[in-house]
Structure formats: structure tokens, C-alpha cells
Structure 1
């Protein structure tokens, strides 16, 4: 008997020592990882947890603070025994979102583990995590892809989220390697007072075993596919939602799912209370038995009125417009706002919400008066004759309703004092008649021969129209056009050279005379041109030299240098075919273009 008792005691002692050694080995093998699985939806459009494809209105900011408790989020099993590593965890979530544009939204989440309850180290053998620490902060960038409108469609958005490598390892709030990425796609739709949506995402994280147990899938973490669905009510201060979140493992780890119903209450247009409670199914690390959350949000928390929805502002105590709430009865007379002719004053149903009164005293009662606060004749349904400019011409027939004018001018003021067909604001000489080409100013005729200077080749000598303004005994060699001087001859140069031949001096003397007699021409561009024989660069240099030779000749004839500019175009601007000798001869030329520098500054092209 003593031997058997001794053997039993020895076996029990050996088993205890073996278990203690095993537990001591386990306690040193618990690795750090991000335990938390709860992600908030920072903008909270549609759901507190899941994106339904919507973005906040542009320029809107939303901030929120929530306290969240998860019960028994981490249990591990060893040799048939289950150990509670984290029996309870309280986390403070701070989140913010801002939409700079209609299609872009940025988000931020900052979790702080406020208190973490752990199991007894003596019972479990696992090393205890810390009680307080910083969680893994997250940033997100959401882009809107589609928007549901009154014609139908869906809301769709894509998001790229990232976990920053600054979480506390001691509190199980940081994955190995630091960074974690979570792209996701979300889609949703409005169905009257219900919104529904789906979200599919991918979580990238290192694939590791959090203990050294072989073949224990509950101890594994790694990449996973996250899916979720949500239903949410709309159009009320108190709104409800139901969220279902699941995880599909892409590595050797168990799956998990959570059912999370919640509520939201709009206290005022800029403050909202919210909460949710739910339970988890599955043994994946971070899946609690149940979780609870309460919090509040501030900023842009009043939901927009979506297609087919009623506005939440139609609830009592919230500011709204009559158009926003057509189903309400603002004045309590039994006639809905949408059909009430007098929605802010009680009336009768027979009078479409109006009372039998005549506010403007024009003899037409308000329900029949198209302008109930302005007197007007019955022929105009009680509206006054509109005459903004008080010129006795009714606006409906007044071509200038904001500027007084006589009836014979269709109510417009007289804007052409000199009757030259050019409005005063565009007429450079509003009190003197002139043609449009001179901006309404009268023609200048220095020699009084009836030919205006702009077309007179002999501006200082009286002549005839037929002879370009020159006397009959003078043969003009230059004709004035609006934008150029047309030569009645050709400027000749030495073959393949730039020297002007003497037979062209008389023609160029006429050019100098015309320029000097017309000071209104501010700048003349002397253009040199060649045919296409030879190399383009050589032709361009030769044409530049010829144009400059003509310019220097004109300067010698007293033409101010600042009124002349030379430009060689080479073969780039032909006026005839280079396939014939006559065409090539025509292309070898010098022309004179009249340029207004002010027009060039304004962007007018040079001809």
C-alpha cells in the first residue's frame, strides 16, 4: 500500500512538473499582433461600421468619440484546455472624416486601449498583455465612383486604408512588420426609407502563428477577405441599422462573423448619439463573445435627403423648409405643405389651405391671387405690372427692363447719339458719325478731294477716286488697303543676292512717300519671300537679308526706323504654285503689311 501511494504521488508530481514546464514554454511564445477587429466608418454615411457607397457632402467635417467593450476577444486552446488570454477589453475610438470635394473623402481613426482584463497567469500559463496602450491608428482615402440619383442607379466607392506602425505591441495592438493595408469596395442603394449596401475588402497582414502550437488553426493570423452587409433606416431622428460582418481566411486560420444591430439619434443638426451591441461567432483571434459601443458625433451629422427618402429635418424640433417636407402640415389646417396655397397660415380644405382674405386689398382673395401681397389687376391674376426701370414700358415688352428708355425704342435708352449705327459704348467718337472700320469716328481727308486718307495714295494732293486719290497726271505705284500696301510693280534684287536693283528705286520711293503721308499707320512689316528652290534655311536667310535691305532703303528716305520691321519668311508663304516659272516668279516678292501693335498685344493674328 505504501508503495502504491508513493508511486501515485510520484506520478502526480511528475505530471504537475510536466504541465508547469509546458505552461512555462507557452508563456514565452505569445507573439504580438493586432487583436482589434472593429473598424468604424469615419464618415458614417449610411452605417456606423460599413460604407454603403456614399461620401459626405463636399466641405463637410465629422468627428466622433466612442467607448467600445469587447468580451473575451482572445482565447487559446492547449491540450484540450481553453485559456482566456484577454477576458475583456475597453477601447476608446476617436475618428474623423472630411470631404474636400464631391468625389473624395479622407478618414482617420485613433484607437486607445483604455483597459484590458487578462486571465490568471497561474491558471493559463500564457504571458499577460499590458492593460493600457495605443491601438493601431488608421488612415483612409475614399473615392466616389457612382452616385444614385432620381433616375436610379447605385452608390459606389472605393477606399484604400492603411494601419500605421505605431500601435503598442505590449497591449496586442500592432502587427509584425508594422504597416497593414486594407483596400475595399462598397456599393449601396436607397429603397425609400431603407438603405442597403455591401462591402468587400482585403486585409493584408503577415501570416504568423501567435503561439508555437503545431496544427492549431485558432492560433493563426494572416491575410483575409472581409465582407459585410448593412441595412439602415432613414428620414427620422432615431434611426436603426443592422450590420453583419464576416471574415473569410486566406491562410490557415478559422473564420469569424459578427451580428451588430445599432441605433443613431440626432440630438440637434450638429450632434448625434449612437450605439450598437452584438455577438460574434468563430474562434479567430479578436472575435469577441459579444461587444457593445456607445458614442457621439459632431459636425456634419445631419444626413442628406437621398433619392426616394424623406428628410430627417421633418422631425419636430428641427429646422426645415416647406419644400423639404411636402408631407407635413405646417399650419395644421389639414392640407399638406405640398398642396397648401398658404402653407404658413391655417385655412380651409376647399380653399386649398387659404383663408377667405385679401391681404393686398386688390379685390382678389389670396387663394385666387397669384401675388397675394402685391396689388394688381384681375387680368394679371392679381399681380402688379412689372416695370423695374420705371419707364412706363412693362417688363414683358421692355427689351431693356433695367435701363429706362422711350417706348419707340422698345424701352431701351438711346445709345447711338450720332446715328452712325454704332452703340455709344463702342463708338470712339459717339457724337460724330463715322464708319465701323474707324470705330465710329469720321473719315480724315487732308487734301479735301473726297478720298479718305485711309485709301488715298496721295494724301497731300487732291486727286480722284479712280486714280487712288492722286492727280490725273500722276501714276500712283502704291495702293492702300486696310491691312497692307499693294505695289503696282515688283522689287528686284541681284540674282541670289540682297542688293536692290536701281530699277526698283522709284517704286520704293513711292512706298516711303505713302508711309510718311500716313502717320496713322503705326508699324509696317517688310516681308521677304522666295520660291522653293534651294534649302529652306538658306532661303529664309536670303529673304531676311532682302527684307532688311528694303527697310534700310526706306529709312534712308526719312521713314522712322521704329515704324519699320523686317521679316524673312523664305519659302513658307507661297501665293502661287512653285511648279511653273511664272508661279516661282510670283512667289519671289516683297510685301508690306500694316500692323497695329495694340491689336497684337490683344492676340490678333498677323496676316
Structure 2
């Protein structure tokens, strides 16, 4: 909220106006240019205004288009009157971020002042501001220091950004020189809540102030920035609440809350708003933000494997230690019927690993199938079937497990057939872990070509049936979760 009557702000305003008058005597009758905007947006993962310590995975892309309205961001007082130099201001910010390495993400944003209007500055001998102008572009590098994907307790990232001196000073959208910022962002997940904290420092060219000798530029000034965000998780509508404070020669605080909701695959829309409090120039009475965000990234790579504890990578296809004693009546699956059609020895069929069959205390909550192109193990960024499997796991499983059983067609050699089935199982497992499923509760079982749905495929449809991954969500009520 603007406080033009405060002593600090009034002194700043008088000095700023005096400086403008001094400048007018030697050049033109306008205010010395500086960047009025104090709000920062987030370029990558996290909320609209703050990161959460996570990085985009390599190859991941995030693009945001944000529109921003401010009410009364600049009120000056010359000791006689209040001058709302900027009453209304509308800006747009286009930002993008790209995952380069597991520990490095690069981003950039371009703000533009679309329209602004205020009182007639000629009342105090100043030229009116221009209505539009380019703001200072920003480039940023985000470095990952800690990651929960590596089983660390929190996500921690460091941001280093540079604001280029290309903004329009006549539109109050550009500093006289380069600005630098460094900050740390920390985040974690507590149930369905994701809190994050931010602390940093901004070095920017100081606004020239008037002295008895004339206008003087005091060089670089520093501001401390602090922030906290709480956002909800989920696939549907999500809430965000952000508190940000700027500590410098003046203090300003922004409190913004809003909602974020999905549109098409990969697209989100968001709306936020809230008041500004403090005496710093550029602190509005309130702000409203609205826009769309697009994010596309491949499933993250597995960064931690504990074969002793998890035991989901069964690449050696070891013999089971005990033979499961089946019930007299068991559901018959397609692969069992095909085994009989090939006249396989039933005793031999039980010796090696075989697809999941429910035990006496197992309850299948979800079963689905993904199909793959020949030789491929890639899945799209959004897979509704896997999202549904993860949701069933969260909603209904008490002591459960998700089995990921991967198969391949006769795509090359026996070795490559097994390899591609392993890669398919790993891709699905990574996706489920990224959705929040605990790693120890996702078991992968690659079978290669051992259990085809179509033993002698003649059509492409039959080949696709063999290039599949079965995803089974099981609620196991016994102590053991080992499949037969």
C-alpha cells in the first residue's frame, strides 16, 4: 500500500523531484530514469512468484506469459501536493527456462510496459512519462545444490541473475546500469503442502538524488529480499500464497494469493492478487496477476539405487527362493493360455520369473497397459493412465505396491529385447516416482520376450500387444509384498 504521508517516502519524493528539476535545467524536464517494478516472477519450477529449490530436468522446458496490473505504484509529494505520477500500470512478462544439466538450469525473461497513466506531470514542471516501454531483460542461471530426488531432506538451489540495461528510462522501466541478484531457494513437501523459503540480495544502480551542488548518483545500492510461499499439490486446482519483503533504504511487503488450474496437457492458468505495504517507490496499493504457463519435461532420471533395500532391479533374473503355492482356482491370463497353446511344460513355466498373479490376500486396485513403438522406451510428459494409477495408489492403498511389468517384441537380439524391456520399466517407474509414489513401493519386472500376448504376431496390432508395460496397483494386506 502506498504511504505518501510517511516521512521516509516524503523525503525521498522531495529529493527525487528536486533531482528532476536539476536535471531539467541541463537537459530535459523529465524524471531521472529507474526501474519502478519491484515484483519478481519465477522462471522455472515452483509457484508463480517463487521457486521451490527444484530444477527442470535436462531437456525440460518451461514457458510463462504473465500479465500484471498495478494500482498507484508511484505517488510523489513535493511538500504541497500528492502527485500520482503512475496511477495505473499494465505490464506483461514473457519468461522461459530450460534444463541443461541435472544441476544447471538457464532462464530468461523480457518484461514490457504495455500501458500506464497518471496525473499530469506538467503540474510540477515535468514531462509526462511515455505510456509504453521495454523493461530490463533478465538472464538467470539456477544451480541445484540439494535434491530430494537424491534422497536429501530438502531441495536447495542458488539463482544468479543479471538485469541488462536495455529498459526504457522514460517509461520508468529501466535502470541506468546493470543489476545483479543472488538468492537461495529452499523447498520441501509436507503431505499435500509444498512450503518454500527464499533469501537473496539485489545490487542495482542507485536512483540519483538532489544535493546542494546538484544531481548526484551514489552508484550501486543493495537490497535484501526475503520470501515465503505455501502452495498445495495435486492435478486439479491448486492454491498459492506468497509473502515477499524488500529491505533497503525503504521497506516494502507484498502479500499475494491465488489459484492455479490445469487447461490442456502441459498448460496451466493462474490468477493472483493482493496488497502492497511499505514506503519504497514502486510499491502499489494492490496488484493483480493472471497468465498461462507451459511445462514439458521428460521423466527424471533415477539418481539413487539401493538394490539391497529396494530390490526392484531384477536384472539377473535369479531363481526365486521359494515356489509360491497357488490356490486351487486362479484367474487365467492371456500369457497362461498362450503357454498352453505352445504346449510348454507347466513345471518349466514356473521355474523362471513370471507375470504377477494375485495372492490370497492381495487386492488389485488398478490394472492398465501402456504400448510402445518398436525399439522405443520413451513416454510422453503426461500419461493419463499413469496419473490414474498414482491417484489410486494415494487414495486407496494402505500397505501396497505398484508392479511395473515390461515386455518386448522380437525387436532385435535376445540381449536388446531384454534391454529395451528394462528401459521401458525404468521409464514408467521414473514417472510414478515423479508423481510422488515412494521408490521402494514401485517394483519393476522386465521379461523381454518371454511372455508375449501374441506368440506369432502377424499384424502391427499384435506386435504392439507384445511391446507393452503392465501397471498393477495392489493393496497387500500381508507383511510380504513379494509377488509369486
How does the TM-score come out when normalised to structure 1? 0.45
Distance 1:54 1:116, change over 3 A: same
Q: Which residue of 1 aligns with 2:238?
A: 239
Contact 1:130–1:170 (Cα < 8 Å) also in 2 = yes
Q: Give the Å deviation of 1:276.
A: 0.9
Distance 1:151 1:185 in 2: 20
Q: Which residue of 1 aligns with 2:37?
A: 36
Q: Give the Å deviation of 1:26.
A: 8.2
Contact 1:386–1:395 (Cα < 8 Å) also in 2 = no
Distance 1:236 1:111 in 2: 29
Q: Give the Å deviation of 1:82.
A: 2.3
Distance 1:303 1:70, change over 3 A: farther
3-state secondary structure, aligned to 2:123? helix
Structure 2 residue 260 is the aligned partner of structure 1 residue 264: yes
Q: Which residue of 2 aligns with 1:83?
A: 83
Residues 144-543 of structure 1 correspond to what in structure 2 (within 5 A)? 144-149=144-149, 153-177=153-177, 179-210=178-209, 222-249=221-248, 253-300=249-296, 368-369=330-331, 372-375=333-336, 394=348
Contact 2:205–2:219 (Cα < 8 Å) also in 1 = no
Root-mean-square deviation over aligned CA pairs:
3.6
Contact 1:26–1:211 (Cα < 8 Å) also in 2 = no
Distance 1:129 1:301, change over 3 A: farther
Q: Which stretches of structure 1, 4 residues or longer, exceed 4 Å deviation after superposition?
A: 20-27, 149-152, 210-214, 301-304, 362-365, 383-388, 390-393, 395-398
Contact 2:60–2:297 (Cα < 8 Å) also in 1 = no
Question: Which structure has greater strand proportion?
Answer: 2
Distance 1:375 1:52, change over 3 A: closer
Note the alpha carbon deviations across 1:439-482, whole angstroms, 9 max, x for none: xxxxxxxxxxxxxxxxxxxxxxxxxxxxxxxxxxxxxxxxxxxx
Distance 1:26 1:79 in 2: 20
Q: Give the Å deviation of 1:30.
A: 2.3
Distance 1:221 1:242, change over 3 A: farther
Structure 1: 5+ residue stretches without partners: 1-19, 305-361, 377-382, 399-607
Distance 1:107 1:198 in 2: 20
Structure 2: 5+ residue stretches without partners: 1-16, 301-325, 353-484
Distance 1:301 1:363, change over 3 A: closer
Distance 1:169 1:149, change over 3 A: same
Q: Give the Å deviation of 1:293.
A: 1.2
Q: Which residue of 1 aligns with 2:475?
A: none
**Which of these two proteins has the greater Rg computed from alpha carbons?**
1
3-state secondary structure, aligned to 1:136? coil
Give the aligned length. Answer: 303
Distance 1:248 1:264, change over 3 A: same
Greater relative contact order (CA < 8 Å, ≥ 6 in sequence): 2
3-state secondary structure, aligned to 1:204? strand
Distance 2:164 2:203 in 1: 13
